[in-house]
Structure 1
Amino acid sequence: MPQPVLELFPTSLRLVLERMPPVAKDNLEEIRIRENRPLEIGYGSRYSFLREDGSLTEQFREAYVPTKEHCRALLERITNHSIYAMEEELRRGYVTVSGGHRIGLVGRAVLDRGAVSHLRDIAGFNVRIARERPGFGAQVLPGLLDYQARTLRHTLVVSAPQQGKTTLIRDLARCISTGQWHHSAARGWGSRKVGIIDERSEIAACQNGVPSFDLGPRCDVLDACPKAEGMMMMLRSMSPEVLVVDEIGRPEDAEAIREAIHAGVRVLATAHASDLADVLARPVLARLAAEGVFSAYVFLSKREERVEHRIVSGKEAGQALSPYAARAFGALPRDAPGEEASLTGASVRPDACEPARSKSRPMPVIRSPNGACGEGGGGG
């Protein structure tokens, strides 16, 4: 367990965590602290409760119970004793600490004009442990190469939470930045300039703007910046050859990705979904698939401590699109009678699809590198 994370906890909690058996400590993924409820950990795709002596149990009544004082002390350490200075983080529901470890927060939401202003009465924490896995990218990268262009294909990495998406794209960014393509046909390609938009400060784990993780010699990071705006800033200022971005899914993210690929930049992104069907059932991702934006999809799944991957071509994703098109693009409500069956079975041209009618936050003005300007959210 990383020492900087351990030092965040009050003494009594830290002692319990220090006594964990090696099998849990070495594979620790999550620590869940809930006020007046059992202390829980996640490790190697399993979970257990912790007794006061650090031993593992599946019986929650035997577990150590953090108190209100523990939670208050933990919050003060996470926020450096200044909750008001972390107001934006509290509004988003998480704080990223040194080392790229993200701490989710739950409590009472305070609303301002119908939107969440911040959290108060925080009584639950989920400490997610960030880890480097050098060599993870070497297993995947050879299947993502564009041999004609001598670079990476436009790639979307997909999985459910905690399956290794962020860990994978971090290592892929390092490989590309150092020119380690891990394929004999790619010898002599050289490295590429990589730009990372790290909205949640998890990919690079920057401290005062400097990455904590090894991302290679030709990598630039825009830390704690919204994805869509950050991609445009990176294109204008740093001329990347590969853009890396985590957890896309909003219309403005898709528009920024279109701008990037039209500027000749390769895109490596992640998204939450369990499989291809889930990807195509999400309106924004389905539209990108219909347009053929991504030429490779990487699906991750975890078995015990091992992460497995499967690569699907963009062509295969496009062929699978039609059963989901009507629902994904808002052509008909899911319970519409009659015509839905025939429409969902028909092929769909990208230029014939209407954008989804789902609500989204206001779109930023996006300016392309050539100076043209337009509102986000339109077709690419």
Structure 2
Amino acid sequence: MTTLAAAPARQGQDVQRITDDVGTLLKFLPGDVEQLLRPIMDTVDEIKLRYGRPLMVLMGDRWEVFDEITVDNDHLLDINAKVMNWRDDGRKGVEGTCHRLYRTKNADGTIEGVTVRVGRFMRGVAWPLKPYLDEDPSMLIMGTPGSGKSTLERDIARMVAEKIRAFCVIVDTSAELSGDGRRAHPGIGYADRVQVAMKAQQADVIWEAVRSLNPRVLVVDEIGYADDARVIKQASKLGVKTVATAHGNKFQDLVENEALSPVYDPPIFRWLVIVAARGVYHLYDLPQAMNQYRQGQVPEYRDLRV
């Protein structure tokens, strides 16, 4: 990859790591798990409960194994009873926070495990992108699961909404951007939001938001289907800009994803951001990068860091 010069650091824009109310999340956990983890929740990023296996907790970049608790059926049924209304994709958000639970099942429908993600709002992680968003807020963000692309997108929504208020509209399918329930997460600032009940309905809800909520900028989490791409392209013809995320960790992943071809051939996004690592962004001028790619050249990017 050809790299352009890194952007100069900006002063006075420290990243603030704000953890959502963990007490609300702990209420969903079995008593012994809650008692064990409560004192260390400030350092916990993810919790894995898998039937017949010891409790595992992600702390930073290391999985810690707590052999004193072996997950049994009672643990899983306890969580299931407290949640009750799981989404069709097996997820459940905690109202007013970005905490999230995910339930997995065996082939026979029996609950096999539960994963708990601790929601944290990182204010300021989008700051290196501000000059580019000010120029044109249409941006596609790509990264691997857990890379921080949704955290980045949430902060982008906040920054965009500081300028245009409720003309920035979040279409939230996973409840990861704006939280679950009736009360939106404060991390989205002045942005409006609409929730999507089922992943299969995302394209329809995007279009309904365009028709009914008067957005200038849409913020959409996890586009991956052709219908999503087509409706975003249609919105662009009406002058609506979009910030969206997709899976992938290199430029080639975008151009090899045929489902997303409506948004990159030709490009409707001005910018492509690859989240190379937490706080490390490779920024492409997408129209320019596509021209370079078609000419057999290696697309250039600018290296930006928080």
Bin of the TM-score, shorter chain as denominator length: 0.7 to 0.9
Could you tell me which of 133, 138, 149 is aligned with 2:127? 138
Is residue 68 of structure 1 aligned with residue 43 of structure 2? no
Is residue 9 of structure 1 aligned with residue 6 of structure 2? no
Q: Give the Cα separation in 2 of the matches to 1:51 and 1:282.
A: 42
Could you tell me which of 172, 176, 179 is aligned with 1:205? 179
CA distance 1:320–1:108, shift in 2 (3 Å): farther
Tell me what 2:282 maps to: 310
Shift in Å, 1:32: 0.4
Tell me what 2:90 maps to: 93
Could you tell me which of 35, 46, 62 is aligned with 1:30? 46
Question: What does 1:337-352 align with in structure 2 at a 5 Å threshold?
Answer: none
Could you tell me which of 176, 185, 204 is aligned with 2:160? 176
Is the contact made by 2:94 and 2:180 (CA closer than 8 Å) also made in structure 1? no
Q: Give the Cα separation in 2 of the matches to 1:191 and 1:121.
A: 45
Runs (5+) with no aligned partner, structure 1: 53-63, 80-84, 111-119, 147-151, 180-189, 324-344, 347-380
Tell me what 1:160 maps to: 144
Q: Which amino acid aligns with 1:16?
A: L
Tell me what 1:274 maps to: 249
Tell me what 2:115 maps to: 126
Larger of the two Rg values belongs to structure: 1
Could you tell me which of 262, 265, 268 is aligned with 2:240? 265
Greater RCO (Cα-Cα under 8 Å, separation 6 or more)? 2
Q: Give the Cα separation in 2 of the matches to 1:46 and 1:286.
A: 37
Tell me what 1:58 maps to: none
Q: Give the Cα separation in 1 of the matches to 2:180 and 2:115.
A: 20
Taking every aligned residue pair, what percent have the same amino acid on both sides? 26
CA distance 1:33–1:227, shift in 2 (3 Å): same
Q: Give the Cα separation in 2 of the matches to 1:312 and 1:34.
A: 40
Tell me what 2:222 maps to: 247
What are the Cα deviations for residues 254-291 of structure 1, in whole angstroms up to 9, with x where unaligned?
11101111111111000011111112221122452221
Q: Which amino acid aligns with 1:222?
A: V
Q: Give the Cα separation in 2 of the matches to 1:320 and 1:107.
A: 45
Shift in Å, 1:322: 4.3
Q: Give the Cα separation in 1 of the matches to 2:77 and 2:241.
A: 45
Tell me what 2:9 maps to: none
Is the contact made by 1:192 and 1:242 (CA closer than 8 Å) also made in structure 2? no
What TM-score, normalized by structure 2, do the two folds share? 0.82
Is the contact made by 2:254 and 2:260 (CA closer than 8 Å) also made in structure 1? yes
Aligned residues: 273
Is residue 296 of structure 1 aligned with residue 271 of structure 2? yes
What are the Cα deviations for residues 104-134 of structure 1, in whole angstroms up to 9, with x where unaligned?
2111346xxxxxxxxx311211111221111
Is the contact made by 1:290 and 1:321 (CA closer than 8 Å) also made in structure 2? no
What TM-score, normalized by structure 1, do the two folds share? 0.67
Q: Which amino acid aligns with 1:35?
A: Y
3-state SS of 2:92 partner: strand
Tell me what 1:229 maps to: 204
Q: Give the Cα separation in 2 of the matches to 1:97 and 1:192.
A: 23
Runs (5+) with no aligned partner, structure 2: 1-18, 298-306
Q: Give the Cα separation in 2 of the matches to 1:161 and 1:30.
A: 13
3-state SS of 1:9 partner: coil
CA distance 1:125–1:206, shift in 2 (3 Å): closer
Q: Which amino acid aligns with 2:229?
A: A
CA distance 1:286–1:42, shift in 2 (3 Å): farther
3-state SS of 1:197 partner: strand
